[in-house]
Amino acid sequence: MKSLEKQEILEDKSVIKLNAIPTKQPIVESEDEDEKQKRKLKQIALNYIRIRDDYYKIVFRPDKSGKLYKDLLRLSKTTITDDYSKKILNWIKKYDDFTLVASHINYQQVINGFYNQYHEVTHKPTEGNYVNIFHILTHIFGESHIDFILDYIQILYTNPNQCLPILLIESSEKNTGKTTLSNLLYWIFQYNAIKLGNSDLQSDFGGFWLQRLLIIVDETSLEKQGVTQMLKRLSTETGKVTSNEKNKAQREVDFIGKFIFLSNDEGKALQIERGDPRWAAFKAPTFAEKGYKDDPQISQKIQQEIPAFLYFLMNRTLVHPLKSRMYFDPEVYRTSQLMLYYENSITLVAQAIKQLVKDTFMMFPDETELRFSITNIMDELKGNVRNLDRKKVRQALEKELNLKELKKNEYTYLSLASAERGHTSNTISNNVTFQFLKNLNS
């Protein structure tokens, strides 16, 4: 009986103890849960942004090699609130619009309320060794143009808005280092660089590459004249261009791109007009030509050297001064490979005239000047060029060979055709002529 009474008393005390808990405590626990939920939503909200009226999730998308890169995934407002409730909208950061401000040294994600679509480069320049990078650049560009390519990459890194020549690296041979060079530049500028195929450039939908700093095209063979004209226009563009992405409305975007083409089709990959300063063409020699052995670890070595190479560029003085809208004086990158394109860019009539002049100077080695009228040229080329007429000859002389017509006066017409037949070719004539100087026109 006594034990029972004791149990009842204990039960009563437990009841009293429970009832004695302050009535506000359950509310405090509820508030703690609210705060915990609020902190969680604030943290999740950091993964989202609002640009004008549109919402985006900041994701890290894997590329084909599995490497992650930052990207924006557009989502509807409803999708986000369905997942996290409407409360999360209070903590999603809002921006006026997108912008594109390229910088590798003083990068800013947000500028005056605008969200920067340019990707931050993660390399941290550090003093060190970059011997393999320097070796590749010297191999392709040689001692004569190593300063040019170092200046080129330095300007890309320190002043990305500066217009630069379109680089064309080509060789019909394999194992030349062309791909290694393109990989180096791609690794330096990371997701501000993009690799394309010919079809991507020739497609009507080019918006996905228009906002990249570096546009690398492999196995280049572009036959459409319209594509070449587009490249010429974009290479000197300093403002906005129209983006025409598939399934998206047209819009204007800032263009900062620089083109690099790799090709096996020497002298024929692109339609480069004679004298056009926008292009810089180089032939890449094979490693075997230089006596070098292929290094299967070169990619890993180069990637490890990038911070040291960038440190070198940041502390290096540019060799070449600003001379043109493409920065360089065109003479700096005038190569035999570029001359090959210039030669191939003229018509068959113009090529035949140039050959006629060379052969005539060889036939008459003591002469330093040749004079031909249009009639003279037609007589010389008769039978060698099909469908030849005066209009084609005049256009070749004036438009392609950049010659000016001289006034009508007496001159000595040296006929190659007559000389080859063994006849005297010194004929004094009185016609409108075009002048060719030895070692200049020939």
380 vs 401: CA distance, rounded Å: 18
pLDDT of residue 114 exceeding 90, the answer is yes
Instruction: Give percent above pLDDT 90 in the chain.
Output: 57
Of residues 262 and 273, more confidently modeled: 262
Q: Which of the given ranges, 38-52, 194-208, 289-303, has the highest pLDDT on average?
A: 38-52
CA Rg, the chain, in Å? 35
pLDDT per residue over 28-50, tens digit each? Answer: 455 577 888 889 999 999 999 99
What confidence score (pLDDT) does residue 32 get? 79
State CA 396 to chain mean position distance.
Answer: 33
Q: For residue 291, what are its two tokens?
A: 């006596």
Lowest mean pLDDT of 206-215, 258-267, 323-332, name the range: 206-215
231 vs 25: CA distance, rounded Å: 71
Q: CB count, 10 Å around CB of 188?
A: 23
Q: At what angle do helices 298-314 and 178-189 cross, to 10 degrees?
A: 60
DSSP collapsed to 3 states, 54-100: EEEEEEEEECCCCCEEEEEEEECHHHHHHHHCHHHHHHCEEECEEEC
pLDDT per residue over 134-170, tens digit each? Answer: 999 999 999 999 999 999 999 999 999 999 999 999 9
DSSP designation for 211: T
Is the overall model pTM greater than 0.75, yes or no?
Answer: no
- Residue by residue, DSSP assigns 2-41 as HHHHHHHHHHHHHHHHHHTS-TTHHHHHHHHHHHHHHHHH
What confidence score (pLDDT) does residue 442 get? 54
Identify which of 88, 69, 64 has the alpha carbon closest to the alpha carbon of residue 78: 88
pLDDT per residue over 63-109, tens digit each? Answer: 777 878 888 999 999 999 999 999 999 999 999 999 999 999 999 99
